[in-house]
Chain A
Amino acid sequence: MSKMKHGFFLLTIVIAGMAMSNSYHLQLLTFIGINTLLALGLNMLMGYAGQISLGHAAFYGLGAYTSAVLSATMNWSPWLALFAAIVLTTLVAFLVALPMLKLSGYYLGMGTLGFGMIVFILIRQWSTVTGGDSGLVGIPALSLGPLSLASGKAYFYLVWAVVLMCFVICERVVDSRVGRALRAIHDGEHVAAAMGIDTSRLKVGVFVLSAVFAALAGFLYAHLVSFISPNSFDFLVSVRIVTMVVIGGMASIWGSLLGASLLTLLPEWLHVFTDYEMVVYGLILMTIMIFLPQGLTRGLLDLYEQSRTIYRRPATSQEPTANR
């Protein structure tokens, strides 16, 4: 079943890649892929382990800037730079997670928010290395041996291949012993601990995993656009990643794809509103959350079920809220 799904997914990617000739659309799809990586990582943390992070843009930025600085300023090979970025992110995420994940709820949210803000401010102010507000230019394009990945189409395939790989990793993790342990932590940390689950080790582990995903996305982003500036990694970006997860549907791997697609495309569609863009964006965000608080994947399914029950028995239009 799962193999078929992946085959289907792969086929969709190949067909989309062949059918797309417009470079703008291709780039948009590539951005969706990058955002899906971000959402996927955070979904492992939020949806499965039930821990919130309002500072994920920090890891995204850490990955992008480490790789960019090493490859553009110091002429490292981008792949070596990627390795360094992942090592650094793992280390930082580990150090942050150890004390931080003792907190929960708003306190954890605020701690990660504070960490994200500090990384953002450091990137802005450490201008001798990061270029500060004016950004960092001349990040080299990627190549795989003799194969150049500079073209839009090649990069599109690269990004989506990585996404597919991460999908498989996540599905494996979720269906494993570790995944069940994570869901147990989500439902009740004390219960999980009583069942013999080493909760703090698992929480730190999933935090590091999601940070590495974000760093990977940052690497792909930096080498795609070849110019990065601090504003791509500010607080609102962290918020956007959280929103992707929640709108797509928590604890749903495919929901991440949906949420990332929607939040990547939405600003593009809203450009027609020019000055009203922000107003409309805020309204859409609020409306989705008010009416489909479970996210789009669950919410739309619920609506479908509801309409079916109403159709069958018009008397009981009550929604099924068994376990509240």
Chain B
Amino acid sequence: MQEFLQYLFSGLTNGAIYSVIALGFTMLYNATGLINFAQGEFVMMGALSMITLWMGCRLPLPAAFFLSIAGVSVVGLLLERLAIRTVRKPHPIVLVIITIGASILLRGLAMLIWGKDAHSAPSFSLHAPFEIAGATLLPQSLWILAVVLVIVTGLQLFYRKTLTGKAMEACAINKRAASLLGIPSERMVLLAFAMSAGMGSVGGILIAPITMSSYDMGMMLGLKGFCAAMLGGLGSSWGAVVGGMLLGILEAMAVGFFSSSLRDAIAFFLLLLILYARPSGLLGVKAVHRF
């Protein structure tokens, strides 16, 4: 029981991170129908820039937090403006390769800026770890869960209550109809890019204190976030959250009760399983084709 609880805590922590990354994917996919393979690099940049601003420049934590998000969002904007929009005949596979090129570019830039060494950050707050039924819960885990909860609620409010959010959802449902109704769909795409990059960076910022961050951390996190998005159902926000949590928990359980050597394979195994059994994901309802 104690072991189970311990694995559950670590699974929830990782799962929350996967959820945020998956939300970033989902948001962009909804607005543009594009899978951004550079999403993992946004996570990496969020983590590293937060460490630099917080530890290096001695900024207070909230300032470092928001500045990092803003910085990475700007990178997302630049990616859309300079690369994605300039393509003349956007075939999806071409866009995929462009985002892969962007991820290589960003990784290379990060290596130049932060070097090849791994960096670490202390926990957000200096509480002692909590003891619950014999299992320890790190304060950082609570921080992570809290921030993710805030983001999910915030997103729901954004989609439901604000005009911009509704416009964005309209674009996701039918871009052409939305633009006929006077919604500036190009600006919505730009906003979606910025928001999804920002979302990725939040994932990185949150994970920085519980792992070592280096320029090449992005790819695996990005791919797992993607598995989470698929698991829950591509295009569904709740699906992203559920998928991320499920992935995190199953991964932690499998590592704890079986073996840690196949840890990274679990996400992809689940991905294949869901694609075989129910390609639209646990919560997704959309038809399974787009390309």
A residues whose Cβ falls under 8 Å from a Cβ of B: 46, 52, 99-100, 103-107, 109-111, 113-115, 117-118, 121-122, 125, 235, 239, 242-243, 246, 275-286, 289-290, 293-294, 319, 321, 324
Contact = CB atoms under 8 A, between A and B. Distances in A.
A293 B275 contact: no
Contacts of B108: 276-282
Given A111-B272, A290-B98, A293-B94, 12 more contacts: A107-B288, A110-B230, A114-B275, A121-B262, A121-B268, A125-B265, A246-B94, A278-B104, A281-B108, A282-B108, A286-B105, A321-B89
A279 B105 contact: yes
Contacts of A109: 35, 96
B101 A285 contact: yes
23 contacts: A52-B291, A103-B279, A103-B288, A106-B291, A113-B223, A114-B272, A117-B264, A125-B265, A235-B223, A239-B100, A242-B93, A276-B108, A281-B104, A281-B105, A281-B108, A282-B106, A286-B98, A289-B97, A290-B86, A290-B87, A293-B88, A293-B90, A293-B91
Contacts of A277: 108
A118 B269 contact: yes
B105 A282 contact: yes
B23 interface: no
B83 interface: yes
B128 interface: no
Interface size class of B (residues with CB under 8 A): 35 or more
B71 to A, nearest CB: 18
A215 to B, nearest CB: 20
B271 A276 contact: no
- A-B interface, 10 closest residue pairs, ranked by CB to CB distance from nearest: A278-B108, A282-B105, A105-B291, A285-B101, A282-B104, A279-B108, A286-B101, A114-B268, A114-B271, A121-B265
B272 A105 contact: no
B180 interface: no
Interface in B242-291: 261-262, 264-265, 268-269, 271-272, 275-276, 279, 288-291
B283 to A, nearest CB: 16
B59 interface: no
A107 B226 CA distance: 11
Contacts of B94: 246, 289, 293
Contact of A117 (B83, B111, B268, B289): B268
B236 to A, nearest CB: 14
B100 A285 contact: yes
Contacts of B103: 282
B219 interface: yes
A290 B83 contact: yes
A296 B278 CA distance: 38
A97 to B, nearest CB: 12
Contact of B275 (A52, A103, A275): A103
A233 to B, nearest CB: 15
B112 interface: yes
B102 interface: yes
A94 B271 CA distance: 19
A117 B35 CA distance: 18
Nearest to A278: B108
A293 B89 contact: yes
B272 A118 contact: yes
Contacts of B234: 106-107
B275 A111 contact: yes
A249 B78 CA distance: 27
